[in-house]
Amino acid sequence: MKIALISENSQAAKNGIIHSALTSVAGPLGHDVHNYGMYTAEDSASLTYVMNGLLTGILLNSKAADFVVTGCGTGMGSMLACNAMPGVFCGLVIDPTDAFLFNQINAGNAISMPYAKGFGWAAELNLEDCYRKLFENEAGAGYPKERAAIMKTNRGILHDLKAAASNDMITVLKNVDQDLLKSAIAGEKFAELFYPNSQDDEISDYLRNL
């Protein structure tokens, strides 16, 4: 699985801590982590939590990534922005129990975490525990197990509801403020990571032509 990491400007200085915790868990489980930045608070390309959501939509709808880990100060802004995108099902994860239940019940494709609120001593241990609970088990197995079938049914209903309520990603890209879009893909490693992994030529071509 390709896991994308996206860091927002107010918490960019913590990208190294977050990336280290994520790779230490995801790597041994056989997953690849693609770090889209921001890498430092001084990066020339600055991502807001709104851009986090837009970039998440691009990565997941193009299949350049299978899962996105993002966040902001509280985690709520990035979660809302992600869930505004078609095909994105993002949960707010604060502790390992959140991570486990989101994986087992919701089987979404993105999480948003708070990297300021409650991010104190040994925060990296909480990150590692969250990522372990998120990626070590098969998604959607259900909790409790006897409710797995109805949970799967409800995920399908939610997927159909979102599809009916949303435009497709290429329409979003054409309708969104183009300066916002350009800023969202301005990261120094975006082209290096995105284009070789994107499986949607229409999305790739549109972004190349900006």
Q: What is the pLDDT of residues 108-167, one digit of tens each?
A: 999 999 999 999 999 999 999 999 999 999 999 999 999 999 999 999 999 999 999 999
Angstrom distances, CA of residue 24 to CA of 29, 47, 96, 178, 179: 9, 25, 16, 36, 35
CATH superfamily of the domain spanning 2-208:
Sugar-phosphate isomerase, RpiB/LacA/LacB (3.40.1400.10)
Quick one: CA dihedral 35, 36, 40, 43, positive or negative?
A: positive
Domain boundaries, the chain: 2-208
Collect contacts of 106-110 with beta carbons under 8 A, ≥24 apart.
Answer: 106/155, 107/139, 107/140, 107/155, 109/60, 109/66, 109/67, 109/68, 110/56, 110/60, 110/67, 110/68, 110/69, 110/70, 110/82
Full pLDDT tens readout for the chain, 210 residues: 999 999 999 999 999 999 999 999 999 999 999 999 999 999 999 999 999 999 999 999 999 999 999 999 999 999 999 999 999 999 999 999 999 999 999 999 999 999 999 999 999 999 999 999 999 999 999 999 999 999 999 999 999 999 999 999 999 999 999 999 999 999 999 999 999 999 999 999 999 999
Please enumerate in sequence order all residues whose Cβ is within 8 A of that of 187, keeping only pairs 6 or more positions apart, or say none: 36, 37, 38, 43, 45, 47
pTM equals 0.97
pLDDT of residue 61: 98
pLDDT of residue 121: 92
pLDDT of residue 108: 98
